[in-house]
Amino acid sequence: MLALLKKWMFAALLMLAASASAYSAPKTVLVLGDSLSAEYGLARGSGWVALLEQKLKTEKIDAKVVNASISGETTSGGRTRLPGLLSQYHPDVVVIELGANDGLRGLPVSAAEDNLRSMIWQAQQNKAKVLLIGMRMPPNYGRAYTERFYGMYKELSTQLKTPLVPFMLEGVAQDASMFQGDRMHPLAAAHPVILNNIWPKLSELIKTR
Q: Which residues are catalytic?
A: 35, 182, 185
Which residue, among 160, 162, 156, 26, has the nearest Cα to 89 in the 3D structure? Answer: 26
Identify the pLDDT of residue 183: 92
Identify the pLDDT of residue 25: 73
Rounded distance, CA 141 to CA 100, Å?
A: 12
Identify the pLDDT of residue 76: 98
Identify the pLDDT of residue 23: 44
Q: Give percent of the chain with pLDDT exceeding 70.
A: 88
Rounded distance, CA 58 to CA 81, Å?
A: 31
Rounded distance, CA 59 to CA 206, Å?
A: 12
Identify the pLDDT of residue 207: 86
Identify the pLDDT of residue 16: 47
Instruction: Mark the ranges of the chain whose per-residue pLDDT is less than 50.
Output: 4-5, 12-13, 16-23
Identify the pLDDT of residue 3: 54
Sheet holding 164-165, edge to edge: 63-67, 27-33, 93-97, 129-133, 164-165
Identify the pLDDT of residue 24: 54
Rounded distance, CA 23 to CA 21, Å?
A: 5
Rounded distance, CA 108 to CA 1, Å?
A: 72
Identify the pLDDT of residue 208: 76
Q: How would you classify the pairing of strands 93-97 and 27-33?
A: parallel
Identify the pLDDT of residue 209: 57
> For residues 117, 119, 121 and 126, what is the CA-based torsion angle, rounded to 10 degrees?
-170
Sign of the alpha-carbon torsion through 28, 29, 34, 36: negative
Tell me, rounded to whole angstroms, the distance of Cα 196 from its chain centroid. Answer: 13
Predicted model pTM = 0.88
Identify the pLDDT of residue 20: 40
Domains, the chain, ranges and CATH? Answer: 26-207 (3.40.50.1110)
